[in-house]
Amino acid sequence: MRSITFGDLLDETAERYPEKEAVVYVERNLRYSYSEFQQLCNQVAKGFISLGIQAGENIAIWASNVPEWVTAQFATAKMGGVLVTVNTSYRVHELEYLLRQSESTTLLLIEGFRGASYLEMIREICPELDHCEPGQLRSARLPHLKNVIYIGDERQPGMFLWSDLLESGLAVSEAERIDRQRSLQPDDVINMQYTSGTTGFPKGVMLSHNNIVNNAILVAGCQNLGPDDRLCIPVPFFHCFGCVMGTLGCVATGATMVPIISFDPGVVLSAVESEKCTALYGVPTMFIAELNHPDFASFDLSTLRTGIMAGSPCPIEVMKKVVDTMGIREITIAYGQTESSPVITQTRPDDSIERRVSTVGRAHDGVEVKVVDPVTGATLPCGQQGELCTRGYLVMKGYYNMPDETDQAIDADGWLHTGDLATIDEEGYFRITGRLKDMIIRGGENIYPREIEEFLYTHPKILDVQVVGVPDEKFGEQVLACIKVKDGEVLTEEEVKAYCEGKIGRYKIPHYIQFVTDYPMTASGKIQKYRLREQAIAAFGLERASNTETA
């Protein structure tokens, strides 16, 4: 394991590969060598120092994958600010909660995203911005927030511009910046990401340099990433997938990052072709969208070699198409969660296709993993399903200002309890079989949605499927399948149930079937199953059963 801050890591890589491309934005026609990127990050770090921001202060960023995001990531790391990443789909209530709970003193933001105005929302929360000087905010609702920095060109009342940050940094000496960077320790918290809210209210996950630098190195190593690689990153930076496995993984290896500002399958395919990318990241829904793009066959993807599919369970049929149709022969599956920096297990390029489509790989080096009985806590033998727990350098420092929740997640022996159900085989490969909270109990029978989903993916007309439990007065719960049908196909409930008959246990056959065009998702691509359940309760009139269940 390395003991290094990731500001120092950038300096190390820039010294080794000064002229090599570090960052390429196809959409902005923007290219930085490692030396240029290092100098820019140093300048922005001095800008933060000029505002009086101290090491350990929380700096929030609310933006899509714009160039300033990745610059701010490394600039804050160099001057010791803790970067608090804000979900791009947040609205007023969620933003106010995060900024208050995180006690952020500074917020960087873009104008807006996908029709929502971030400027209007922050002004609604902080009307004081309209009549205060930049850096002098005194907000009644957000008492810690002092600086708002607009990533844009138009002057905004009460806010600094990004260009102001660059200019004010000129007043800070290089010696002062170097002293600040040298004062930082690898065990310091440097990144705070809020859990995505697939199961409830977000919690701020505190991650140190050690947590994320070493995870980035190990994730990159499992793909054999190196300075000759060019990684297309369409996953959002506010999530570990983007800013640890993506940007930091590139800096750790000298690879070139090719970020996509906002996911669009055509833009991704075009960037891979024009930049001759060798690696591509994505959640399953992204790969599905790319494979089903109407012009997919016209793109030259022959340079692709590796990458990662992660973020939610990876359907076997989709994985096979990524290997066979997209030609990503060494694609890896990674599994983890924000609380584990994020990756716990990963497949390797030399694993068989079967391993790579049916498991989430083996534990990373230096990481302990076990499967335990959720009730007794006893370690289970190979093949038996239980809760996956992990221990090692990768476990978060805790949830910010939430000691009770931290104690629930990390036990007295340092084991992080993931809440995921898994099995391990004799060779150390793990299969994720579901979430403890997603498990359906129908008439005393335990049903794991993943098993039914994998089976239904084999239906030739089904594009995507999510299985959840819904309340039932007689059985406690029933199985609901939410199905996306392939373009041009027609599918009925009767066909689906007939397809299941005789192939899976009768109690596992979906009692309810909904045909949908989209799933409720977090901005990082995770499907919110609790919202599918809520929607089904309303759609099927199951409120009475739901009330009985919770009584």
Q: Could you write out the DSSP letters of every residue in 84-120?
A: EE--TT--HHHHHHHHHHHT-SEEEE-SEETTEEHHH
- Dist CA 6 CA 304 (whole Å): 28
pTM: 0.84
pLDDT of residue 474: 76
CA atoms 462, 468, 470, 475: torsion sign: positive
- Dist CA 11 CA 41 (whole Å): 10
What are the pLDDT digits (tens) for 104-161? 999 999 999 999 999 999 999 999 999 999 999 999 999 999 999 999 999 999 999 9
User: Average pLDDT of the chain?
Assistant: 93
- Dist CA 392 CA 341 (whole Å): 11
In the chain, % of residues over pLDDT 90: 80
Cα angle value 229/269/273 (rounded, 5°): 55
pLDDT of residue 195: 83
- Dist CA 286 CA 269 (whole Å): 11
pLDDT of residue 198: 45
What are the pLDDT digits (tens) for 85-101? 998 988 888 899 999 99
pLDDT of residue 201: 64
Residue 37: band (very low, low, confident or very high) from pLDDT cuts 50, 70, 90 = very high
Is residue 11 scored above 90 in pLDDT? Answer: yes
- Dist CA 99 CA 145 (whole Å): 8
Is residue 362 scored above 90 in pLDDT? Answer: yes
| 451 burial type by CB count under 10 A (0-12 exposed, 13-18 middle, 19+ buried) | middle
Is residue 547 scored above 70 in pLDDT? Answer: no
pLDDT of residue 523: 62
Per-residue CA distances from 535 to 516, 525, 526 (Å): 12, 19, 17
Q: Could you write out the DSSP letters of every residue in 332-350?
A: EEEEE-GGGSSEEEE--TT
Residue 472: band (very low, low, confident or very high) from pLDDT cuts 50, 70, 90 = confident
pLDDT of residue 546: 61
Residues with Cβ within 8 Å of 453's Cβ and at least 6 positions away in sequence, in order, are: 313, 315, 465, 466, 467
What are the pLDDT digits (tens) for 256-278? 999 999 999 999 999 999 999 99
Is residue 549 scored above 70 in pLDDT? Answer: no
pLDDT of residue 71: 98
pLDDT of residue 444: 67
Is residue 398 scored above 90 in pLDDT? Answer: yes
CA atoms 111, 113, 118, 120: torsion sign: positive
Count of positions (residues) in the chain? 551
Is residue 413 scored above 50 in pLDDT? Answer: yes
In the chain, % of residues over pLDDT 70: 97
Give the residue-averaged pLDDT of 536-540: 92
pLDDT of residue 284: 83
Radius of gyration of the chain (CA): 24
DSSP 26: G
- Dist CA 454 CA 70 (whole Å): 36
pLDDT of residue 434: 76
- Dist CA 234 CA 284 (whole Å): 12
Count of beta carbons in the 10 Å neighbourhood of residue 399 = 24
Beta strands in 359-509 (DSSP E): 362-363, 367-372, 386-392, 398-399, 416-424, 430-435, 440-442, 445-447, 462-472, 476-485
Give the residue-averaged pLDDT of 468-495: 92
- Dist CA 332 CA 377 (whole Å): 30
Question: Structure tokens of 10?
Answer: 């950038």
Phi, psi for residue 511 in degrees, rounded to 5:
-80, -35
Phi, psi for residue 47 in degrees, rounded to 5:
-60, -45
- Domains of the chain: residue spans and CATH: 6-194 (3.40.50.12780), 448-550 (3.30.300.30)
- Dist CA 84 CA 1 (whole Å): 25
What are the pLDDT digits (tens) for 370-381? 999 987 899 999
Q: How far is CA 544 from the centre of its chain?
A: 36
pLDDT of residue 524: 62
The arrangement of strands across the sheet holding 189-194 comes to 160-161, 147-150, 106-109, 58-62, 82-85, 189-194, 204-208, 398-399
Is residue 433 scored above 50 in pLDDT? Answer: yes
Residue 294: band (very low, low, confident or very high) from pLDDT cuts 50, 70, 90 = very high
Q: Which helix (H) or strand (E) holds 192?
A: strand 189-194
Report the candidate in 463, 441, 457 with the shortest Cα–Cα distance to residue 499. 457
For residue 342, cis peptide bond before it (omega within 30 degrees of 0):
yes
Is residue 196 scored above 70 in pLDDT? Answer: no
Question: Structure tokens of 267?
Answer: 């833009």
What are the pLDDT digits (tens) for 522-533? 766 778 888 899
Window from 82-96, 288-302, 430-444, 527-541 with minimum mean pLDDT? 430-444
Count of beta carbons in the 10 Å neighbourhood of residue 116 = 14
- Dist CA 463 CA 515 (whole Å): 11
Report the candidate in 257, 308, 262, 314 with the shortest Cα–Cα distance to residue 288. 314
Beta strands in 196-268 (DSSP E): 204-208, 230-233, 256-259
pLDDT of residue 231: 98
Residue 550: band (very low, low, confident or very high) from pLDDT cuts 50, 70, 90 = very low
- Dist CA 348 CA 335 (whole Å): 12
DSSP 198: S
Report the candidate in 11, 7, 69 with the shortest Cα–Cα distance to residue 213. 7
Is residue 245 scored above 90 in pLDDT? Answer: yes
The amino acid sitting at 120 is: E
pLDDT of residue 26: 98
